[in-house]
Structure 1
Amino acid sequence: MLFALVGVLGLAIGSFLNVVIHRVPRGESLLRPASHCPQCTAPVRPWHNVPVAGWLLLRGRCADCAAPISVRYPLVELGTAALFVAVAARFGWSASLPAWLYFAAIAVALALIDLDVLRLPNAIVLPSYLVVPALFLPAVVLERDWSAGLRGLVGMAVLFSFYLVLSLVYPGGMGFGDVKLAGVLGLYLGWLGWAPLAVGTLAAFLLGGIAGVALMAGGRAGRKTALPFGPSMLAGALIALFAAAPITDWYTSILLPA
């Protein structure tokens, strides 16, 4: 029942995230105008707005002008639903589940926006500094998990400060958008524990390095090419969310063999 509910919710949120990803970087309203074809501006019929099914029904083309509709739209919807289900499997019916579903949603939106325009919009990141603590508050109160709440706040301060120092030491390699996102990720990873905080941070830089080397090897980037780091930060946090324990155990076994 839980997986079905969050899966349907994920599809609906994914449909909304498509609007967020397209409009927020442009400073456009999320409410007006209603969904429409960017080519002919014809409004999208309500039944064509059904996640995934609408795109399949239209065979990936506008109902009015037959302009192609990117396959990214249904993939975002399916990806968000899959991530919601994975998060639900991780936390179950817990008071902290809404906070983690919010994380899954903003992770999808921020990663794709950063890939598109090399920017992590304040309109999503900054409100998260209020939204995330508010979503975690019921877990702190109902489950009396005060230590997790305090650890999250410390993690937020630590990771924000770490990225801030990096941005000051090497301003060309770290944008302030990454610094602001780091505070939000520090809150989430700190809530999980110190090991997830360390794993998520290290994984971000490892993934970022791998992506940079791969792009340069493929001739798609040079040493001075600006590359988005937000997706690596978010992917690192997801790795920590789902695999921090086995990664920590593996690394400990290498340092301290039996």
Structure 2
Amino acid sequence: MLILVIVAGLLLGTLLNIIIIRLPRERNLLRWPLHCTRTGEALVWWQLLPVVGWLVQRGRSRDGRPLHWIHPVVELLTALVVTLLYLRYGFVASFFYLVFVCVVLIITGAIDWLHRSIYTFVILGGALLAMMGSLLLPPATLTLLEAGLGALIGGICFVLLFMLGRILFPSAAVPFGLGDVYLAIFIGSAVGITRLGPSLFYGILMAGIVSAVIVFAKYILRRRDMPQYIAYGTYMCLGTILYIVAWGL
């Protein structure tokens, strides 16, 4: 059974990659066959194999251009998350609920990393479904009230931070935008008010460490190839996934 769960996680990761690739391009998510993002050619069956297809191609398209590394990472991360949640919960309501939450976070984090964009309908739709899903969970795990308060407090905190950034740095890019506010609402609704702080802490800590490394490399080592900004939403997603896998609900 464990092998089947791992394979299912890898296949789910492949499905998420289709969404991650096609959603920003406003393409039909159900269109078949799938096409290479570099050459536009139809993909053959072995190229669709999770991770294996990328490795066989050595991370390059047919014309030699590099394929993004994030796609095999999405497949591996999805399989890892699904497997660890299965080992913790088995096939119960909490397992399916948390897999759904992590799916939304993986899609959002990957798209934000690639395009610096967070899709409102994905996040707010996910928040609504998460609150509805809380009704199916044991009361000791998460209640609708806790989910609603988590969404409210998460949104308020990040709205205040967003407004403070605009006031202090009116002509500069703030560390996060409204998309991150919506993401905080989703995280709050998904984990509840009591787990909101620890979930966000992991993401903030990861973003802080990466920012410190970038500042050190840019101003101390005089590296000019360092990124100007970081995908803050990606680290919020990764931090929440880390919390869910480590501590559960």
- The answer to whether TM tops 0.5 is yes
Unmatched 5+ stretches in structure 1: 246-258
8 Å CA contact 1:24–1:123 kept in 2: the answer is: no
Q: Secondary structure at the match of 1:120?
A: coil
Is residue 19 from structure 1 mapped to residue 18 from structure 2 by the alignment?
A: yes
For 1:42, the equivalent position in structure 2 comes to 41
TM-score, normalised via structure 1 length: 0.78
Give me the identity figure in percent.
27
Is residue 197 from structure 1 mapped to residue 207 from structure 2 by the alignment?
A: no
Give distance in 2, aligned partners of 1:38 and 1:24.
Answer: 13
8 Å CA contact 1:7–1:81 kept in 2: the answer is: yes
For 2:169, the equivalent position in structure 1 comes to none
8 Å CA contact 1:96–1:135 kept in 2: the answer is: no
- For residues 98-120 of structure 1, give each alpha carbon's deviation from its aligned partner in whole angstroms, at most 9, with x where no partner exists: 12111222222221211122111
The alignment covers a number of residue pairs equal to: 236
Give distance in 2, aligned partners of 1:36 and 1:177.
Answer: 29
Higher relative contact order (CA 8 A, sep 6+): 2
8 Å CA contact 2:132–2:144 kept in 1: the answer is: no
* Equivalence map 1:209-228=2 (5 Å): 209-219=208-218, 225-228=228-231
Question: Which residue identity does 2:92 align to in structure 1?
Answer: S
Selected match of 1:90 from 70, 88, 91? 88
Cα gap change, 1:9/1:147 in structure 2, threshold over 3 Å: closer, same or farther?
closer
Q: Secondary structure at the match of 1:170?
A: helix
- For residues 133-184 of structure 1, give each alpha carbon's deviation from its aligned partner in whole angstroms, at most 9, with x where no partner exists: 3333322xxx355863321221111111111111112132330000001011
Cα gap change, 1:165/1:12 in structure 2, threshold over 3 Å: closer, same or farther?
same
8 Å CA contact 2:59–2:67 kept in 1: the answer is: yes
* Equivalence map 1:168-183=2 (5 Å): 168-171=163-166, 172-183=174-185
Aligned-residue offset at 1:67? 5.0
8 Å CA contact 1:11–1:77 kept in 2: the answer is: yes
Is residue 160 from structure 1 mapped to residue 155 from structure 2 by the alignment?
A: yes
8 Å CA contact 1:215–1:221 kept in 2: the answer is: no
Is residue 150 from structure 1 mapped to residue 145 from structure 2 by the alignment?
A: yes
Unmatched 5+ stretches in structure 2: 167-173
For 2:187, the equivalent position in structure 1 comes to 185
Is residue 231 from structure 1 mapped to residue 234 from structure 2 by the alignment?
A: yes
8 Å CA contact 1:96–1:136 kept in 2: the answer is: no
Aligned-residue offset at 1:128? 0.5
After the TM superposition, which parts of structure 1 deviate over 6 Å for at least 4 consecutive aligned residues?
A: none
